[in-house]
Structure 1
Amino acid sequence: MKILGKQDLSDRYDVVVVGSGAGGLVAALTAASAGQSVLVLEKSSQIGGTSAVSAGTIWIPANDGMTEGGIDDDIESARRYLAETVGGGEVVDAFLDHANDMLSFLRERTSLELVASLGYPDYKLGLEGSRYGRAMQPTTYDSRRLGEWKDILRRDENLLQYSMIEFKQWGSWANFPWDELRERTAKGIVARGAALVGPIFQACLEAGVDFAVDAPVQELVDEDGVVRGVALVDRQIAASGGVVLACGGFEWNPEMMEEHLPMPIPIRCSPPHNTGDGHRMAKRLDVRLDHMDEAWWAPMVSVPGQEVDGQRVGRHIRSERQSPGVIIVDSTGERIVNEAQDYNSLIRSALEASRGKGIPLRMFVVFDHRFLERYGFLTYAAGDELPGWITTGASLTEVAESLGLDAQALTATVERFNKFAEAGVDEDFHRGDSPYDQYSGDSTNPYPNSNLAPVEIGPFYGMEFLPGAFGTAGGVATDARGRALRTDGSVVPGLFAVGNVSAHPLSTGYPGAGSTLGPAMTLGYVAGTELAGTRTAAEIGGAQ
């Protein structure tokens, strides 16, 4: 165990937070800002959890950036939209009612800068209550502001430090200022998830929150059904107010995945410490676990050499499947999905299609040379040497044979798709019809549909990708105040849960970009106010 800035920890705190993702840190900062003594215990050697290696986007309806940008939104519209996509309930209501309180609190207490992506649509735009602009992105953050703890902040070491705002502005890998990004990264400027977590971590340190890394919690300490603290390997630490579980999902636990998920997650991009520890500890106290069959699904590829803490991780493919000139096929060589839809829906649609065919789910991207040179592909940029993990062939037949696909079927699929591209209408899967698809397309594409272009100019390329996940999405059931619930519906005094260790309120759908982090941070704020002994943001200085 490594303690940050102190010789030893106290034996007693008002609040102990298990895990250091964005939700847990917001809970810690909220409680500390109200005068509570707070300890954050992190299992790994770095602060930030899955949040720090994410895109860092948070979904906040009726945010002030929308107002400034002239987009009319209100909480009741968002409530109607969520009723259509994920259902309702008191935890959904708690998120909606307090999301902007959380935002105001962070703006007052931290240096976090968030920008509303005004052109970014909800994933199901067209449903009642949907809007543009609810996704908010962090700008970059200089990790040198953390002083000696700069390197304790987790970041995605497999990518250079560009923000998602810049990603949209530059349009494709071919347009990225790689030299500038290398220089930025070398200086310690971080982006995306690390830029979200960094300012909150800094504010926690300034507020007197204690931190220990390499500090896995073994058990919850309870007396007469009340959680009183936590047990580490060699000591117990009391929590007079309560314990907040914020220690992630179970996507790195094969046994739990086999028991709960519709299919195992073969690849993920989260740190390998998310092994369901919080679920296990809570279950021992008869806590109810809900939505355990849910995950935040996304298409991912395995790029050789890309690891997190020594474990192979996946790379989310986004523009590599959404830009015009690429298709996705299954093991029969046929298209099975709209390639441009949101990542969670894509995997769910592909799984449904494979079950309908009675075959295992396998997916391949196939594209041509024009696509590769115009958009790049993951680590490849135009003019580079082609990496060995991309299959290439002078013809579609060669690519099919290398990938183990039926060449005749693949050729027929491409011929049909090319006719759609020329006409501008995808008759099979309606790619390019929705506002979300169009947001992800190429407005400079010379073909009628910004998401469609023929796959026709050799050489041709392909590779298999996998049904990955950002994390699992089910766990500890809570009430609207973040308190854990037993199987009989009663509250477990002294126990709270936020983020992927909890039964996430948006887990049954994916309403928009940032649907994981927005509620996690908001409900962390709600739990923090509860632990601070108050119900309102005004009492801890967050309300405007």
Structure 2
Amino acid sequence: MSDNDEYDVIVLGTGAAGLTAALAAATNGARVGLFEKAEKIGGTTALASAVVWLPANRYGREAGVQDSRDDAIAYLDSLSHGMILPALRDAFVDTVDELTEWLETKTPARFQLVAGFPDYHPEHPGGKPGGGRSIEPQLFSFAGISEWVDRIVGTPRRMNVGDTPIGGGTGVLPANVIANREQHLIEGLGRALIGSLLAGCLEHGVVPTTGARAERLLVHDGRVVGVAFADGREVRGRTVVLATGGYEYDADLARDFLRGPMASPAGVPSNTGDGLRMAMRLGARLGNMREAWWVPVMQQPGDRADGGNNVYLVNRERTLPRSIIVNDQGDRFTNEAANYNALGGAFHTFDPSRFRYLNQPAWLVFDQGLVDSYGCFGNPAGAPVPAFVPRADSLSDLAVTIGISGTRLEATVAHWNTMVADGHDDDFNRGDSAYDGWCGDRSLYPTPLATLGPIERGPYYAVELISSTLGTKGGPRTDVDGRVLDMDSQVIPGLFAAGNVMAAPTGMVYGGAGGTLGPAMIFGYRAGKAAAR
């Protein structure tokens, strides 16, 4: 990066939104400068499963899924609570086929349906209990861009979602399969998506510059004309696309904007709100600032290579039979098997009398039967539970260990076991939704027993659940092509945004698996095209 670099389009950030925007601009004739704050590219996308939620997509149609534009709009509207702007909703739904066709033309990315994966609220109008809206990248070989293998966030994972427990697999592949994929630099999940998008960018002359933290937007005569970087250099461009991720790693911004408690965010530590600040300095109108992609996590010992929080997403274990979640009074307070984003609301319940968040701290409680039948925290069935997990031979002793009432915990578990024996959770309807058991006992899916099971055999275990996030989802408001709007809803000339840095077009909704990446890639694509024009 030199002092006098000049581009048609400058893109800040190399997650799915940024790479998609850069490629879209390049394929529409622009000279593109692509800059990444961190030393490695990929952002939180590289750590993710890379499932992409796209309603009424062609992969679903080819598999016989009955879906439509009207179904998608009805579904999003049923969940909106007034926070989804109709114009952005329509742009999202109407760009699905255009995006996937373009990706398979301009990149080596090939996608496939994650068969059967239900929407996260499948019983709502327009929802799909049998799936059809979640797709994933096929396995990708880095052989052609091997020099980038060690320059992408995360570690190689050589399987598809369908090979993992969440997708119905075991999470374990035969040694010869792993060896073959290692030899040919074949990967799946988040790094596969990043690799395929990167390959498309490289083929079109877009090479990421890493270690380049943008601090300020350059403005001339009211128009954004470039970026000033932390090292003092300035880069000029006709337009700038912000794709810098959210602000979850900035404690001040999280305190000032998020609706409830959040700690130990799971994404990359470079998500400190840089793009948000740059847009705010130019008078951008903000939206959706209270919201995040909520997820419960547990803290693990040790450090993460990229300096991020070493947390484990507790999405499978709380859905498996023989587990419940309790607060520090020893009471259940929610459907444990609900989707992780919606579950955030349960952790934000506020008690006005005691003036505290009622369900933080919270604990996942499970028994040896879960361990023997299903395994936990990445370990196979029957493997020992990690040593750092609290345990005891009785529920009362477990309660003492984690600092809650033993009498109350015993009563809660006894009540739970009675409901399990009757085959229905009368308190929170766990198991009623087609989604609830998806990550549970797949041999019993889609019956409620896929997620209902007694807690009766010691030793008993508990892990503290932290109200966390995959990323924040508030930022500058944009039009349907990602143009950032000011406080008077007028376009700020030359400035665009996509991904978690923008006000999420789906409001508080997480439509289904891939509900983060679907909008990120749609609006990255639309912003890149518009920025090139």
Q: Same fold (TM over 0.5)?
A: yes
Instruction: Give the AA of the match of 1:430.
Output: N
Bigger drift between 338-347 and 132-141 goes to 132-141
The aligned residue for residue 318 of structure 1 is 315
Q: CA deviation at 1:34?
A: 1.9
Whichever residue aligns with residue 326 of structure 1, its letter is S
Gapped regions of structure 1 (runs ≥ 5): 534-544
Find the partner of 2:17 among 19, 23, 26: 23
**Residue 497 of structure 2 is aligned to residue 503 of structure 1:** no
Aligned to 2:232: 234
**1:343 is aligned to 2:340:** yes
1:439 partner SS: coil
Query: For the structure 1 residues 353 and 138, does the alpha-carbon distance in structure 2 shift closer, same or farther, using more than 3 Å as the test?
Result: farther
Letter in 1 for 2:252: E
Aligned to 1:428: 427
Q: CA deviation at 1:184?
A: 6.8
Matches of 1:186 and 1:239 in 2, distance apart?
40
Structure 1 441/312 Cα, relative in aligned 2: closer, same or farther at 3 Å?
closer
Partner in structure 2 of residue 257 of structure 1: 254
Residue 12 of structure 1 pairs with residue 6 of structure 2: yes
Task: Report the Cα distance in structure 2 between the residues aligned to 1:445 and 1:414, rounded to whole angstroms.
Answer: 22
Closer, same or farther in 2 for the Cα pair 1:357/1:120, shift >3 Å?
farther
Aligned-partner Cα distance in 1 for 2:351–2:465: 15
In 2 relative to 1, CA 181–421 (structure 1 residues): closer, same or farther, beyond 3 Å? farther
What does residue 480 of structure 1 align with?
A: 480
- 1:494 pairs with 2:491: no
Report the secondary structure of 2:450's partner residue.
Answer: coil
SS of equivalent residue, structure 1 residue 320: coil
Inter-CA distance 468–462: structure 2 relative to 1 (3 Å threshold) = same
Pairwise CA distance, 1:511: 1.7
> Residue 440 of structure 2 aligns with which residue?
441
| Secondary structure, aligned partner of 1:466 | strand
Return the offset for 1:531: 2.2
Match of 2:391 in 1: 392
User: SS in structure 2 opposite 1:298?
Assistant: strand
* TM-score, length basis structure 2: 0.93
Match for 2:192 among 192, 195, 207?
195
Q: How far 1:183 sits from its partner (Å)? A: 4.4
What percent identity do the matched residue pairs reach? Answer: 36
Q: Distance in 1 between matches of 2:350 and 2:54?
A: 32
Q: TM-score, normalised by structure 1?
A: 0.91
Does 2:363 correspond to 1:364? yes
Aligned partners of 2:331 and 2:409 also within 8 Å:
yes
Please list, as runs of the form range in 1=range in 2, the aligned pairs for 1:205-284 lying within 5 A after superposition: 205-232=202-229, 233-240=231-238, 242-284=239-281
Alpha-carbon contact 1:324-1:445 (below 8 Å) kept = no
Aligned equivalents of 2:388 and 2:181: distance in 1?
25
Alpha carbons of 1:9 and 1:116: their partners in 2 closer, same or farther (altered >3 Å)? farther
| Structure 1 equivalent of residue 140 of structure 2 | 141
Q: Distance in 2 between matches of 1:95 and 1:120?
A: 20
Question: What's 2:64 paired with?
Answer: 70
Q: Deviations over 1:407-462 (max 9, x none)?
A: 11101111111111122100111000011113233243599722101010111111
- C-alpha contact 2:260 2:348 (8 A) present in aligned 1: no
Q: How far, CA to CA, are the matches of 1:108 and 1:237 in structure 2? A: 30
SS of match in other structure, 1:219:
strand
Q: CA–CA distance in 1 between the matches of 2:153 and 2:3?
A: 22
Q: Which residue of 2 aligns with 1:538?
A: none
CA distance in 1, matches of 2:20, 2:3: 21
Q: Distance in 2 between matches of 1:134 and 1:444?
A: 23
Aligned mates of 1:250, 1:433 — CA distance in 2: 35
User: CA contact under 8 A between 2:431 and 2:448: conserved in structure 1?
Assistant: no
Contact 2:54 2:518 survives alignment (8 Å)? yes
Unpaired runs of 5+ residues, structure 2, are: none
* Structure 1 residue 169: Cα displacement: 7.7
Q: Structure 1 residues 172 and 464, CA, compared in 2 at 3 Å: closer, same or farther?
A: farther
CA distance in 2, matches of 1:81, 1:252: 32
Q: What is the DSSP-based 3-state SS (H/G/I as helix, E as strand, rest coil) of the residue aligned with 1:315?
A: strand
Confirm or deny: 8 A CA contact 1:115 1:136 kept in the other structure. Answer: yes
8 Å CA contact 2:326–2:332 kept in 1: the answer is yes
Look up the match of 2:43.
Answer: 49
SS in 1 for 2:212: coil
Q: CA 1:435/1:445 → structure 2, altered by over 3 Å: closer, same or farther?
A: closer
Distance 2:32 2:44 in 1: 21
- 1:451-462 alignment, distance < 5 Å: 451-462=451-462
- The CA deviation at 1:349 is 2.1
Q: Distance in 2 between matches of 1:21 and 1:149?
A: 15
SS of the equivalent of 1:307 reads coil
Instruction: Work out the CA distance in 1 between the residues paired with 2:367 and 2:175.
Output: 27
Partner amino acid for 1:512?
G
Query: Where does residue 537 of structure 1 map in the other structure?
Result: none
